[in-house]
Amino acid sequence: MTTAPKFDQLKVGDTLPPLKLAPISRHQLALYCGGSGDHNPIHVDIDFAKKFGFKDVFAHGMLSMAFLGRLVTSWVPQTQVRKLGTRFTSITWVGDTITVSGKVTGKREEGGQKLVDLEVKCTNQNGQDTLQGDATVALN
């Protein structure tokens, strides 16, 4: 169970504990294909991926977005997550090692809620961002 940080104790620039993930495996992509209902063969069938000009299969963007979700819900209880969004900025290849990180970019009060805005992202082993996202959480 996650215990949320306190609104008053946070400041812009504070970072979330990062998630360092194991390399993306073909097995993980197969599980995500079934688990998410995204059955696009480009993520699991190398013959299909090559036919469409790719060197190999690559991860579902939404798998990486799920990592952003894990980062945020490991920091605050899920009931306090108001928004989660991302741009998919580069392809995550099978074998890539992803680190998920986040930091506080803003604090505001709106509609009686104390809201904290976050920048969240996935970065590969070469230091390249694969997802550039943002989240909003409500804190006490």
Partner 1 sequence: MQLDKKLIGHTFKPFTTTVEAGKIRLFCKAIGEEDPIYVDEAAAKKAGYRAIPAPPTFLTAVTNDDPDKGGLLRLLNVDIGLILHGEQHYEYLAPVHVGDKITCQQKVVDIYDKKGGALWFVVSETELKDQAGKPVAKAKGITVVRNPDAAKK
For the chain, helix (H) and strand (E) counts, in that order, are 3, 5
Among 1, 11, 111, 127, binds partner 1 (CB under 8 A): 1
Helical axes 26-36 vs 61-73, angle rounded to 10°: 80
Neighbours of 132 (CB within 10 A): 17
The reply to whether 93 sits near partner 1 by the rule CB under 8 A is: no
Among 85, 95, 125, 140, binds partner 1 (CB under 8 A): 85
The reply to whether 35 sits near partner 1 by the rule CB under 8 A is: yes
Structure tokens that stand for 112 in this block: 């009686």
Q: Is 102 helix (H, G, I), strand (E, B) or coil?
A: strand
Residues in binding contact with partner 1, number by CB under 8 A = 44
| Stretch binding partner 1 (CB under 8 A), from 9-17, 20-28, 105-113, 115-123 | 20-28
Structure tokens that stand for 93 in this block: 């290849």
Residues making contact with partner 1 (CB under 8 A):
1-2, 21-22, 28, 31-32, 34-42, 48, 51-52, 60-63, 65-70, 72-74, 77-79, 81-88, 91
